[in-house]
């Protein structure tokens, strides 16, 4: 395929993380504080452990103050809520991330609701969700934010474009729709009950797939010249037993007709942690009452 069609999320994320690190160093020099991020991991879910290691490494590389709390799967709801309350009160912590999913028996919604909205760097608290949809100041979920940053970098002005988002989850689909509306796109949110989904997708100048079904979106679903953002990460079996990662979009088919497309891996994935660092920087500046750097 034409390499110019690839939207290189890995390269963009590296640049964003470098800009965040430079801004953090400037905050330390000018104002005497470092952004602080606390990550809470409950239990021993292997995927969550990998994510937390990556987030911890990114925190160190950004020059942030990092705090990691690893709790056993036997942790009670009350113990977890008490930890969040302590982090809310810690003046050196500006961002709190409780790694999801939580072990069975723990109420994730109640935990998220306990996080100080100013420190909710995942953008999941109801106050931040409301701020996103109403256009008020808040913190935006990292993956959707990363998708929109990639789109603006590739396309420039998004206003007036038809966008179709496949998926309506609170983590990705709904926030991406809100962000695209804020960019003055005309947005359709499609899902499992949508009639003639391929025909709906073919109307999209911007097609975002966030459903968690391997290669569901076929090449003939894509409007010629469209920009495709593939949020899906699915492991499919291979003869050697190791498996391989694919997105929600049949990449080779879609790339043949799209003008630009994110690969999996190396597209949206790296943007999530980069935007977590960006959100933590933003939260720290707002809490401390200093201007948020343009990164």
Is 4 annotated to bind ligand?
A: no
Distance CA 206, CA 181 (A): 12
Burial class (CB in 10 A: 0-12, 13-18, 19+), 242: exposed
pLDDT class of 114 with cuts at 50, 70, 90:
very high
Give me the residue label for tokens 């796109």: 185
pTM above 0.85, yes or no: yes
**Residue 62 contacts residue 282 (beta carbons within 8 Å):** no
Q: How is domain 31-116 classified at the CATH fold level?
A: Rossmann fold (3.40.50)
Catalytic residue among 55, 119, 174, 223: 55
Is 167 annotated to bind ligand?
A: yes
Is 169 annotated to bind ligand?
A: yes
pLDDT class of 241 with cuts at 50, 70, 90:
confident
Distance CA 167, CA 123 (A): 18
Residue 103: the pLDDT is: 95
Catalytic residue among 116, 120, 122, 230: 122
Question: Tokens representing 69?
Answer: 């709390």
Active site residue 28: no
Q: Among residues of the chain, what percentage have pLDDT more than 70? A: 100
Section 71-84 average pLDDT: 97
- Lowest-pLDDT choice from 28-32, 49-53, 116-120, 140-144: 49-53
Domain residue limits, the chain: 31-116, 142-269
Angle between helices 126-134 and 173-182 (to 10 degrees): 30
Residue 77: the pLDDT is: 98
The alpha helices in the chain, defined as continuous H runs, are 9-31, 46-61, 77-89, 108-114, 126-134, 142-155, 173-182, 197-201, 251-257, 269-288
Give the closest residue to 204 by CA, choosing from 174, 229, 182.
Answer: 229
**Residue 248 contacts residue 208 (beta carbons within 8 Å):** no
Domains 31-116 and 142-269 equal at CATH topology level? yes
Catalytic residue among 99, 116, 120, 248: 99
Active site residue 240: no
> For 184-200, how does the pLDDT look when each residue is reduced to its tens digit (9 = 90+)?
999 999 998 999 999 99
Distance CA 45, CA 75 (A): 14
Section 239-266 average pLDDT: 95
pLDDT class of 60 with cuts at 50, 70, 90:
very high
**Residue 176 contacts residue 208 (beta carbons within 8 Å):** yes
Is 233 annotated to bind ligand?
A: yes
Distance CA 179, CA 165 (A): 11
Residue 46: the pLDDT is: 87
Residue 126: the pLDDT is: 97
Residue 89 clears pLDDT 90, i.e. is over it: yes
Give 142-269's CATH code, choosing from 3.40.50.720, 3.40.50.150, 3.40.190.290, 3.40.50.2300: 3.40.50.720
Residue 35 clears pLDDT 90, i.e. is over it: yes
Active site residue 122: yes
pLDDT class of 242 with cuts at 50, 70, 90:
confident
Residue 1: the pLDDT is: 73
Section 201-212 average pLDDT: 97
Section 56-83 average pLDDT: 96
């Amino acid at each position: 395929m034409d390499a110019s069609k690839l939207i290189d999320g890995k390269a963009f994320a590296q640049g964003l993380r470098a800009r965040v690190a430079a801004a953090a160093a400037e905050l330390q020099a000018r104002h005497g504080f470092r952004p602080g991020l606390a990550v809470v991991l409950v239990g021993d879910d292997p995927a969550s452990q990998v994510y937390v290691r990556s987030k911890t490494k990114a925190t160190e590389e950004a020059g942030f103050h990092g705090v990691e709390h690893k709790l056993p799967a036997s942790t009670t709801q009350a113990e977890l809520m008490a930890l969040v309350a302590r982090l809310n009160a810690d003046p050196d912590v500006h961002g709190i991330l409780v790694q999801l999913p939580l072990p069975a028996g723990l109420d994730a919604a109640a935990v998220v609701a306990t996080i100080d909205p100013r420190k909710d760097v995942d953008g999941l608290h109801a106050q931040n969700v409301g701020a996103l949809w109403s256009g008020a100041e808040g913190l935006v979920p990292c993956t959707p934010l990363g998708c929109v940053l990639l789109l603006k970098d590739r396309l420039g002005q998004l206003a007036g474009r038809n966008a179709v988002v496949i998926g309506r989850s609170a983590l990705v689909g709904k926030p991406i729709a809100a962000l695209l509306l804020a960019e003055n796109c005309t947005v359709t949110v499609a899902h499992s009950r949508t009639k003639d989904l391929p025909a709906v997708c073919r109307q999209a100048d911007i097609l975002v797939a966030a459903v968690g079904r391997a290669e569901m979106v076929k090449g003939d679903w894509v409007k010629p010249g469209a920009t495709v953002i593939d949020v899906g990460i699915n492991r499919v079996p291979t003869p050697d037993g190791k498996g391989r990662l694919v997105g929600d979009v049949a990449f080779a088919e879609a790339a043949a007709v799209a003008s630009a497309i994110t690969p999996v891996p190396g597209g949206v994935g790296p943007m999530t942690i980069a935007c977590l660092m960006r959100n933590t920087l933003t939260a720290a500046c707002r809490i401390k009452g200093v201007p948020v750097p343009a990164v």
